[in-house]
């Protein structure tokens, strides 16, 4: 009976910990910060398509819609062709309508960034981001697009406009001075982003184990020496014939170790700061030295999900209050 009672107690404690992890109400500050940053990234990266919209997204663009429809899978049931990918751009066949949808999407992304009608904007932003990604796939579908869609998807689940938004300023102007309450959905959305980041890094690390350059410790050098992506020439490091091989091997193996064990280290309060600073170093290096600025930055945005709401409020609240005062003074 004693063993049974102990087992039942352990199960009860594990169940309570599970419920606290997923469903404990949390301040939405972290989610709201991610909304501002992810919204700005969505707005900027889709604004770039405007430079040659017809070529990127038109029916007869660089990747014609007809060609995409030929990339279909056979149904396992009847062997018939089926099309399982959806995008609103598959049905737009006129230039003026393409521009109308594109401008509407930019408006949605901007509303998400500034927090205007945030919950509606989050849903529309996710659907539109997926539409863009499916239209440009497989020719121009990169990690940036995947992370953009991932963040937009989880922003739909929580009160992403509760702080740092025009929605919050509108509530104050209506006389609603009730403080922002902790929400279960705010915690749920952040937890899902956190777990998604762990999955991304784990599978990225496992994939690197299959690469010979990563195993022998030279992958970082080949990344720095690749002129196709090179934005800052770092090949001068090869002149350090004594220490360069050691530094490159150390950076290579440290990257693989960090990605493989990110899902363990980031949950511990003692190793979390080092793990997140490593994320800033890795993705900041990708942005600075390899020219993939938007991808490096958006991955850092994803890592911000591990910041506690009090930390976010300590950093962001003074800036938000400054903007709120300036906007109130302009009326």
Q: What is the DSSP letter of 237?
A: G
Tokens 């942005």 correspond to: 287
- In the structure encoding, which two tokens stand for residue 312, read together? 């976010």
Long-range pairs for 219-223: beta carbons < 8 A, 24 or more residues apart = 219/252, 219/255, 220/248, 220/251, 220/252, 220/255, 221/248, 221/252, 223/289, 223/290
Tell me what pLDDT residue 136 has.
Answer: 83
22 contacts 191 by C-beta, under 8 angstroms: yes
Per-residue pLDDT tens digits for 62-78: 888 887 777 665 555 55
Tell me what pLDDT residue 331 has.
Answer: 55
Tell me what pLDDT residue 69 has.
Answer: 72
Is 112 inside a domain boundary? Answer: yes
What's the whole-model pTM score? 0.89
Range of the domain at 286: 24-74+81-171+184-329
Q: Which of 135, 150, 77 is nearest to 101 (CA)?
A: 135
Tell me what pLDDT residue 83 has.
Answer: 54
Tell me what pLDDT residue 3 has.
Answer: 57
Is 14 inside a domain boundary? Answer: no
Per-residue pLDDT tens digits for 1-29: 555 566 777 788 888 999 999 999 999 99
Query: Mean per-residue pLDDT for 209-226?
Result: 86
DSSP secondary structure letters along 201-241:
HHHHHHHHTT-HHHHHT-HHHHHHH-TTT-SS--GGGGG-T
326 contacts 169 by C-beta, under 8 angstroms: no
Is 242 inside a domain boundary? Answer: yes
- In the structure encoding, which two tokens stand for residue 31, read together? 């989610």
301 contacts 37 by C-beta, under 8 angstroms: yes
Is 69 inside a domain boundary? Answer: yes
Question: CA torsion angle for 191, 194, 199, 204 (degrees, to 10)?
Answer: 170
Is 259 inside a domain boundary? Answer: yes
The answer, yes or no, to whether residue 241 has pLDDT greater than 90, is: no
Q: 301 or 85: whose pLDDT is higher?
A: 301
Query: Mean per-residue pLDDT for 256-264?
Result: 95
The answer, yes or no, to whether residue 176 has pLDDT greater than 70, is: yes
Least confident window among 101-105, 141-145, 190-194, 252-256: 141-145
- In the structure encoding, which two tokens stand for residue 323, read together? 């903007």
Is 6 inside a domain boundary? Answer: no
Per-residue pLDDT tens digits for 44-56: 999 999 999 998 8
The answer, yes or no, to whether residue 32 has pLDDT greater than 80, is: yes
The answer, yes or no, to whether residue 326 has pLDDT greater than 80, is: no
- Portion of the chain with pLDDT greater than 70, in percent: 89
In angstroms, rounded to a whole number, what is the distance separating the alpha carbons of residues 181 and 177? Answer: 12
Per-residue pLDDT tens digits for 136-151: 876 666 789 999 999 9
Half-sphere exposure of 231 (CA within 13 A, CB side): 10
End-to-end Cα spacing for the chain: 71
- Portion of the chain with pLDDT greater than 90, in percent: 56
How many helices (H) does the chain have, and how many strands (E)?
Answer: 15, 2
Query: Mean per-residue pLDDT for 304-309?
Result: 96
- DSSP 3-state assignment of 74? strand
In angstroms, rounded to a whole number, what is the distance separating the alpha carbons of residues 281 and 79? Answer: 49
Least confident window among 4-8, 179-183, 252-256: 4-8
In angstroms, rounded to a whole number, what is the distance separating the alpha carbons of residues 113 and 14? Answer: 38
Cα 175–chain centre separation: 35
Is 325 inside a domain boundary? Answer: yes
- In the structure encoding, which two tokens stand for residue 232, read together? 């800052």
- In the structure encoding, which two tokens stand for residue 171, read together? 């509530």
Per-residue pLDDT tens digits for 184-206: 999 999 999 999 999 999 999 99
In angstroms, rounded to a whole number, what is the distance separating the alpha carbons of residues 22 and 13? Answer: 14
User: How many structural domains are present in the chain?
Assistant: 1
The answer, yes or no, to whether residue 323 has pLDDT greater than 80, is: no
The answer, yes or no, to whether residue 286 has pLDDT greater than 60, is: yes
Query: What average pLDDT does the structure give for the chain?
Result: 87
Is 103 inside a domain boundary? Answer: yes
């Amino acid at each position: 009976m004693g063993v049974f009672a102990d087992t039942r107690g352990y199960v009860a404690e594990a169940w309570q910990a599970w419920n606290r992890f997923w469903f404990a109400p949390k301040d939405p500050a972290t989610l709201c910060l991610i909304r501002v940053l992810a919204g700005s990234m969505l707005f900027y990266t889709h604004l770039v398509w405007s430079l040659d919209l017809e070529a990127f997204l038109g029916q007869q663009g660089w990747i014609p819609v007809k060609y995409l429809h030929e990339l279909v899978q056979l149904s396992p049931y009847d062997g018939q062709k089926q099309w399982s990918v959806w995008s609103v751009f598959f049905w737009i066949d006129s230039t003026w309508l393409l521009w109308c949808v594109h401008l509407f999407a930019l408006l949605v992304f901007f509303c998400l960034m500034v927090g205007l009608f945030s919950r509606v904007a989050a849903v529309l932003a996710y659907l539109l981001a997926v539409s863009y990604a499916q239209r440009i796939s497989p020719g121009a579908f990169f990690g940036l697009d995947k992370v953009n869609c991932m963040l937009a998807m989880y922003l739909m689940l929580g009160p992403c406009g509760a702080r740092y938004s025009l929605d919050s300023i509108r509530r104050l102007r209506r006389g609603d001075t009730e403080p922002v309450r902790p929400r279960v959905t705010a915690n749920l959305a952040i937890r899902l982003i956190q777990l998604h980041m762990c999955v991304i890094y784990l599978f990225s690390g496992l994939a690197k184990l299959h690469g010979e350059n990563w195993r022998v410790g030279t992958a970082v050098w080949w990344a720095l020496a690749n002129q196709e992506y090179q934005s800052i020439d770092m090949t001068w490091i090869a002149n350090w014939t004594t220490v360069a091989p050691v530094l490159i091997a150390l950076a290579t193996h440290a990257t693989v170790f960090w990605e493989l064990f990110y899902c363990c280290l980031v949950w511990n309060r003692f190793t979390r700061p080092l793990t997140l600073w490593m994320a800033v170093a890795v993705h900041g290096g990708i942005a600075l030295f390899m020219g993939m600025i938007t991808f490096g930055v958006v991955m850092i945005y994803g890592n911000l999900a591990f910041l506690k709401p009090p930390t976010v409020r300590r950093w962001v609240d003074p800036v938000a209050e400054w903007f709120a005062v300036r906007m109130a003074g302009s009326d």
